[in-house]
Structure 1
Amino acid sequence: MGGFRGGQQRPWRWRVFWSYLPDWVLTIVLWGAFYLVDRIDGYRRLFDVNDTSLAHPYAVKERVPVWLLGVLCAVVPAVIIVLTAAARRSFWDAHNGILGLVLSLGLTVTFTDILKITAGRARPDLFDRCQLPETLTSNPTHQLTSWTVCTRTDLLKDGFRSFPSGHSSFAWCGMWYLFLYAAAKLKTYNNKGYTFKSWLLLAPISCASLIAISRTMDYRHHPTDVIAGAVIGVLGAWWGYRQYYPALITPESFEPFSPRIPRDDVLPLHNLGGSENPNDGYGETVPLSHPGAPHLRDTSA
C-alpha cells in the first residue's frame, strides 16, 4: 500500500492543491470587487438640520484606524492559526484556517460596503463635515434638507456611509472566526468544563466589542450601525468557518474537513472516531484495511 509520505502520495497532494486554487482565485476576485464597489458615490439621504444626532464633531484621529483594524482582526488571527497548525504539524489545518478566514472577511466587507452605498445614512459628524450655511436654521417647509446645501464637500462621500459599521463588521468577523477556531482547538464543548478556556475565549470577544464601541466614541457611527455590523460580522465568520470545519458540538470539531479529492488508499479517520495522527499534514487518515473502512464506504455509497 505504501506509507503516507511515499512516492505515490505526491501526485495526490498536487491534485489537492489544484482543486482549491479556484477558491483562492474567487476570494481574491471578491476582494477586488469590494474595492470597485467602494468607488461608487452611493446614495445620500435627506436630513434634518435640527437633528442633534448629526451634530457631533469630526474626529481627525480615530481610536482604531484602518491599519490597526487590519492588524488586530486579520493578521493576528492568521498568525495564531498558522502557529497552531504548525504546532499540530498540520499543513492542511493551516490551509483551511487561512482560506476560511480570508473568505469570511471578503464576504463581510463586500456585503457591508454594498449596504453602505445603498443605505446612504448620515454619520453622527455630518454637520461638521458638511459645514452648513450659518443662515440655514430650518428645513424647507414640509421637507428635509439635501446635501447640496453643504459648503464643504471633500468629506461628504464618506459622510453618508454610516450604516452599517465597517469597522464593527470586520472586527467581529475576524475575532468571531478566531473564537470559533480557538474554541474548536481547545475542545471547549467536550463536557468537561474547564473555566480557563472561557477566559481565553473572552479575549477575541472583548477586542471586537471595544473596536465597535470606539466607533461611537469617535462619532463615526450610531449605536444601531455597530450592532448591525456586529451581526453581519458574526454571520460572515460563521459561514466562512463552516465551509472548512465541522460544528463545535461535534467530537471532531478540532479537525478540518478532509480534502475534497479523496485518496485511493485511505479514508478519513475522524469519521471512524479515531485519534489524531500528528504526522499527517492533511488530517487524519486510515488505510482501507481498517475494520471500519468497509462499513464507512458502504454507508456513503
Structure 2
Amino acid sequence: MPTPSATIRLGAPHPYLVTHGTKVARLHLFDWIVLALLVAIEVGLNLIEPFHRFVGEDMMTDLRYPMKDNTVPVWAVPIYAVIGPIIIFIAIYMKRRNVYDLHHAILGLLFSVLITGVLTDAIKDGVGRPRPNFFWRCFPDGVGNYDNITRGVICHGDPSVIKEGHKSFPKFPAVTRYLPCCPIPGSFAGLGFLSWYLAGKIKAFDRGGHIAKLCIVILPLLLAAMVAVSRVDDYWHHWQDVFAGGILGRFGSCFVLLPAVFPTTIW
C-alpha cells in the first residue's frame, strides 16, 4: 500500500520577521529617511520662538484662568498613543506572521504622528495664540505690567513658560511637540490611525451587520477625545484649539492610511 504523500503548500511562504524583516525595512529605506527628516523638522519647530501676538490689558480678562497640571500627564501620552498601538500590531503579527503588515502599520503610525506634528507646530509658531492661562504665565506674581501707550503686556515670567504660552492654537493631540525631551505621540493621530487599522482587521464595514465591531473601532477615538477635553478642563487650550487640532490629527491618520495599511489589511 503506497504511503501518503506529504502535504504540498502552494503559494508564497509566510513572511516571518526573522527572515524578512531586514529585507522589508531595506525596501522602505527611503521612507525611514523621510521619517528621520520629519523628526529633525519637528525638533527645529520646537526650538524656534513662536510669533508673539499682541496681547493687551483688556484681553487679559479671558486669559486669567489658573495654571494647572495636566490631568493626563505628559509621560502617559506615548504609552497609550504609540506604545499601545505598537503592542497591538505585534500581537496581530504573532497570530498572522505577516511582517509586511507589522512594518507598514508601525511606519504608518509614526508618519501619522510626525506629519500631524509638523503641520500643527508650524501653524502654532505662525499664529502665536495665547493660552487661557497666559496671564499667570506672563505675570506669575499676579501683578500685571503693561506698556503706557499701547497697553500691551510686558511679561516678567519664565521665558520658556511664556514661550509655551503662545502655542495655544491649534491643540496638537499628537503631541510630538515634546520630541526634544521625549517621544510623545498624538491622541487623534496615533489613536486615530489605530482606529482605522482595527476597522480593517475586524472588517467593521463589511456590511455584515455586526454593530459590536464599531464599538471596538470607536474606543481609541473616545480615548483621544477624552484627552483632548481634559486639555480644555485644565485651561491649556481654548475649545477652538482642540476642535482644529482634532481635525488635523484625523487628517494625519487618514493621509497615510491608504499606502500604509489598506494593501495589507483590507484589500
Taking structure 1 as the reference length, what is the TM-score of the superposition?
Answer: 0.73
**201, 220, 224: which is aligned to 1:204?**
220
RCO higher in structure (CA 8 A, sep ≥6): 2
Tell me if 1:213 matches 2:229. yes
- Between structure 1 and structure 2, the one with the greater Rg is 1
Paired AA for residue 132 in structure 2: P
8 A contact 1:187–1:253 mirrored in 2 = no
Q: Distance in 1 between matches of 2:45 and 2:213?
A: 40
Q: Distance in 2 between matches of 1:58 and 1:215?
A: 12
Aligned ranges 1:1-301 → 2 under 5 Å: 4-5=12-13, 16-51=24-59, 52-59=61-68, 61-131=69-139, 134=143, 136=145, 143=150, 145-146=152-153, 149-154=154-159, 155-167=161-173, 170-246=186-262, 254-255=265-266
Q: Tell me the secondary structure at the aligned position of residue 241 of structure 2.
A: helix
Contact kept in structure 2, 1:49 and 1:139, CA below 8 Å: no
1:65–1:168 distance in 2 versus 1, CA, 3 Å: same
CA change 1:119–1:207 in 2 (3 A) is same
Partners of 2:20 and 2:191 lie apart in 1 by 34
- Alpha-carbon deviation of 1:229? 0.5
RMSD: 2.6
Q: 1:245 to 1:58 in 2, by over 3 A?
A: same
Deviation by residue 1:61-118 (Cα, 9 ceiling, x = unmatched): 2112222111111111111112112211211110111111111111111111111111
Q: Deviations over 1:273-296 (max 9, x none)?
A: xxxxxxxxxxxxxxxxxxxxxxxx
Higher mean alpha-carbon deviation, 74-83 vs 93-102, is at: 74-83
CA distance in structure 1 between the partners assigned to 2:227 and 2:206 by the alignment: 31
Gaps of 5+ in 2: 1-9, 176-185
Return the offset for 1:13: 8.1
Give CA deviations for 1:229-278 in whole Å, capped at 9, x if unaligned. Answer: 100000000011222233xxxxx7724xxxxxxxxxxxxxx6xxxxxxxx
CA distance in 1, matches of 2:261, 2:235: 38
TM-score for both structures, normalised by structure 2: 0.82
